[in-house]
Amino acid sequence: MIILKNLTLSDGSVQDIRIDAGQIVEIGRIADSGTDCTDLIGLAGFVDPHTHLREPGFEASETVLSGSRAAAAGGYTAICAMANTEPVADNSLVIERVYDLGMEAGLCFVQPIGAVTKGLKGLELANIQDMSSSRAKVAMFSDDGMCVHDENLMRQALVEVKKFGGVVAQHAQDPSLTVGAQMNQGAVATELGLTGWPAIAEEQIIARDAQLAQETGARLHICHLTTGGGVEVVRWAKAKGIQITAEVTPHHLLLTEDLVRSYDPVYKVNPPLRTADDNKALLAGLMDGTIDMLGTDHAPHSGEKKDCEWENAAFGMLGLESAASILHQVLIQSGAGDWKLFEEIISKRPAKLAGLDNHGLIKVGVQANITVFNPHERIGVAEMNQSKSSNNPYLGLEFVGRVQHTIYQGQFTMIDQSVRDQK
């Protein structure tokens, strides 16, 4: 049994919470003693709609276990694992393998995401029904890393997921406009001599897919929105009543393309870091509900994939262990938003997106998935060390606010800032 004392919830109320047999059994004032949480914020356990775990296939970069540790350290009680493993998660065999590895690790709920097309090749649909009816009950499908760029295939995928209320999560990147793209297109790319990735390549895929979602009546999710123009397109689609949701990554809220001047591949990510104006537009989109949630796009890469020339380096950066601290900085410290919005963005809405009924809420009678956030203490990159990889772009930065405890299925997976492996 766990009792959390004097926890401040997102509605501002201060409560004690009793957890027993994996469930929240009591919320209110509890006479018994327990873990003191005075001045700490209690939130529904964080849910990441967008994680790369690298297992099977690239275990030198990350495994389900190491990624789950990073998740627990970051306050996550559920993560959605992208399909770009080797073999690709485009069938129930691989899906259930990842699901079981997640259960074995026991540090958070690992929800596999199914590939939309076989082998992520964008040529023919994967067996979506098969993955949906697997033990992992996949609801979200994505070719992330690759865009489902063929209109007809995208339309077929939407029709397919609609049958069971699923969702297609699109990596919006027109491949023909981004051949060899290395960074945001513009003056910095021109000076650095790197091939540009134009905003239009993202915006027009979102616009096209929004129209396909409208026509099919299916649910569409946009992964890692990066451009002010993309925010406008999603805003337009929502105004039309299209079933569209969107996520933004912590790094696209905080970092800009100017970091690429260092040619350090730790800043190489797809879609690329953009401008300060885009950062602002993304935050504004988050504030007005155009962007629904935070997705880390946690993308571990082993050392040699980054310790090389920029153009030879892999795309991607770590995110699970820093996400909440960054959201705290851009949303709470800046005064832009409150804890209620914070909880919506990092827990409730992504839980709903992925169909995770046990996540995203704190109330009596539900599975106890709770994150206790400490808004006062600092954290630096050196302490973000659970991932097998170290491609962390926040080197030299320190954030105010960090996860204090993580409770998954009624057990501490992180206690007093220290990850606790499960049996």
Partner 1 sequence: MKHLISIRDLTRDSAVALLDSAQQLSQVNQRTVKSLPALRGKTVVNLFYENSTRTRISFEIAAKRLSADVINFDAQASSASKGESLKDTAQTLEALGAAAIIVRHPMSGAAHALANRGWVSASIINAGDGRHEHPTQALLDALTIRQLKLSGSDLTGVKVLIVGDLEHSRVARSNILLLSLLGAAVSVAGPAELVPEGIAAMGAKVYKSFDEALAEQPDVVMMLRVQLERMLKNEAFTTRDYVKNWSLDQTRLGQLGKETVIMHPGPINRGLEISNQAANDPRSAVLRQVENGLAVRMAVLHRVLSGEVTN
Q: Give the footprint of partner 1 on this chain (CB under 8 A).
A: 185-194, 196, 262-264, 304, 307-312
Is 11 considered catalytic here? no
> Quick one: 215 or 311, whose CB is closer to partner 1?
311
For the four alpha carbons of 337, 342, 348 and 352, in that order, the dihedral sign comes to positive
Return the C-alpha torsion angle 235, 241, 244, 248, nearest 10: 30
**Token representation of residue 71:** 């998740």
> Quick one: 190 or 334, whose CB is closer to partner 1?
190
Upper half-sphere CA count for residue 5 (Cβ side, 13 Å): 7
Beta bridge partners of 19: 2, 24
Q: How far apart are CA 248 and CA 287, in angstroms?
A: 12
Given 288, 297, 357, 421, which residue is catalytic? Answer: 297
Closest approach of Cβ 227 to partner 1, in Å?
A: 15
Closest approach of Cβ 304 to partner 1, in Å?
A: 8
> Quick one: 184 or 226, whose CB is closer to partner 1?
184
Residue 308 CA: distances (Å) to CA of 210, 256, 311, 352: 38, 21, 8, 40
> Quick one: 188 or 286, whose CB is closer to partner 1?
188
Cβ atoms of 328 and 294 closer than 8 Å = no
Check residue 90 and give left, alpha or beta (phi > 0: left; psi -120 to 50: alpha).
alpha
> Quick one: 182 or 389, whose CB is closer to partner 1?
182
> Quick one: 204 or 333, whose CB is closer to partner 1?
204
Closest approach of Cβ 208 to partner 1, in Å?
A: 24
Return the C-alpha torsion angle 356, 362, 365, 367, nearest 10: 40
**Token representation of residue 225:** 């929105």
Closest approach of Cβ 179 to partner 1, in Å?
A: 11
Query: Considering only CA atoms, which of 145, 96, 97, 77 is closest in space to residue 117?
Result: 145
Closest approach of Cβ 58 to partner 1, in Å?
A: 19
Q: How far apart are CA 226 and CA 53, in angstroms?
A: 22
Other C-beta atoms lying within 10 Å of the C-beta of residue 91: 17
Closest approach of Cβ 146 to partner 1, in Å?
A: 23
So which residues are the catalytic ones? Answer: 297
